Structure 1
Amino acid sequence: MATHELFAYLCVADAARAIDFYRHAFGATEKFRLVEPGGRIGHAEVDFDGTILMLCEEFPELGIRKPDPAHGHGTTLHLHVDDADATIQRAVAAGATLERAASDAFYGERSGVVIDPFGHRWNIGHSIEEVTPEEMQRRYVALFPEG
C-alpha cells in the first residue's frame, strides 16, 4: 500500500465564514466548494501554499459535527510559517482566540496556540534551531521534576 497524501478535514458550523477566516488569518486561497441546493457546504478545499485543508459543514444526520471546545480539543493543527508571532497576531485580529502566546520551545520552534472561531486548535510556529530527536528527548525529560 502506498500513501500519496494525508489531508486534514474539518467540520465547521459555517464553512463560508471559515473559508473567509482562513483566507484573512493565514493567507489561504479557496480552491472550490460544493454547495447543496439549500446552501449547506458539503465540501470545500482551501490551499495553504500547496497544502490542502478540506472542510465541510455539520451533517448531524451522518454523525459529522463541529468540535465542542467546552470538552477540550482532541486535535491540533500545526501550521509551520515564516513568522509565528505575526501569523498569530493576524489570526487573533481575524477573530481567533489566543490560547498561548508565542514563545521559544524546547523542540526548536517559536510557537503559540490559537483557537479559530470554529473551535479548531492551531499551533503556529517557525523554526529557531535544528534539534535532533535525541536532544529533543533530553530537553523534554528535563521539563519534568524528578519523580
Structure 2
Amino acid sequence: MATEQTGATGAAEQERLPQVWPSLRARDARALIRFLVDAFGFEENVVYGEGEVVHHAELDWPEGGGVMLGSVRESEDDGFDLPPGSFGAYVVTDRLDEVYQRAKAAGARITAEPHTTDYGSYDFAAVDPEGNRWNFGSYRGAPRKSHRA
C-alpha cells in the first residue's frame, strides 16, 4: 500500500516555532478536511493516508497556528483516542465577517451569530459536520506575564 502525502516539503520548508497543535479525530477525515478548508478557510499543509483513511493531517490557519487531525481507527495504539465530535477550539481572526460569510455559504451550522462579547471580542460560533465546536473571534488573549528566571 502506498502512503499518500500532499503539501509543502523540501529545503524551502518554513521552520515552525514551538507551538500548541489542537488535534482531533474524525469519522470521515477527508470530508472534514474539505469542510474546514471550504467553510472556514483553513489551508491544507500535509495529509498522510491511504484510501479513505487519514493517518495524519495538518491544516494551517492563515493568521497563525493550525490543527492536526486523523481518521478514527479500530485500534488506537497511540494514546490519542478522542471520540469524534468532542473537540472545541477558539480561532483568532481579524477577518470575522469574511469567515462568517464563508462558513454560512458552505452550510456550516452557526450556533452563535456575530456579536461583541462583554470583554470586547467580536465572535461567532459554528459546528462542523462531525459535531466539533468552533468559535472564531478577535480576542487574542490577555497579555503574557513576564517570565522570571
Q: Same fold (TM over 0.5)?
A: yes
Q: Provide the C-alpha distance between the structure 1 equivalents of 2:130 and 2:96, rounded to a whole number of angstroms.
A: 20
Percentage identity across paired residues of the two chains: 30
Over 3 Å off, 4+ runs: none
- Residues 40 and 56 (structure 1), Cα distance of their counterparts in 2 relative to 1, 3 Å cut: same
Greater gyration radius: 1
Q: Which structure 1 residue ranges, 5 or more long, are not aligned?
A: 68-72, 133-147
Runs of 5+ in structure 2 lacking a partner?
Answer: 1-16, 144-149
The answer for the alignment partner of 2:136 in structure 1 is 124
SS at match of 1:56: strand
- Letter paired with 2:52: G
1:111 matches 2:123: yes
> TM-score, normalised to structure 2's length?
0.70
Give the counterpart of 2:73 among 59, 71, 81: 59
Contact 1:108 1:131 in 2 (8 A): no
Name the structure 1 match of 2:28: 14
Decide whether aligned partners of structure 1 residues 59 and 65 sit closer, same or farther in structure 2, where only a CA change above 3 A counts.
Answer: farther
Q: C-alpha separation between the residues in 1 aligned to 2:101 and 2:136? A: 11
Indicate the residue corresponding to 1:86 in structure 2: 98
In the alignment, is the contact (CA less than 8 A) between 1:95 and 1:116 conserved in 2?
A: no
1:23 to 29, 33, 37: 37
C-alpha distance in structure 1 between counterparts of 2:40 and 2:61, whole Å: 8
Q: Distance in 2 between matches of 1:77 and 1:126?
A: 14
Aligned in 2, Cα 1:121/1:64: closer, same or farther, shift over 3 Å?
closer
Letter in 2 for 1:80: V
Contact 1:59 1:65 in 2 (8 A): no
| TM-score, scaled to structure 1 | 0.71
Q: CA deviation at 1:113?
A: 0.8
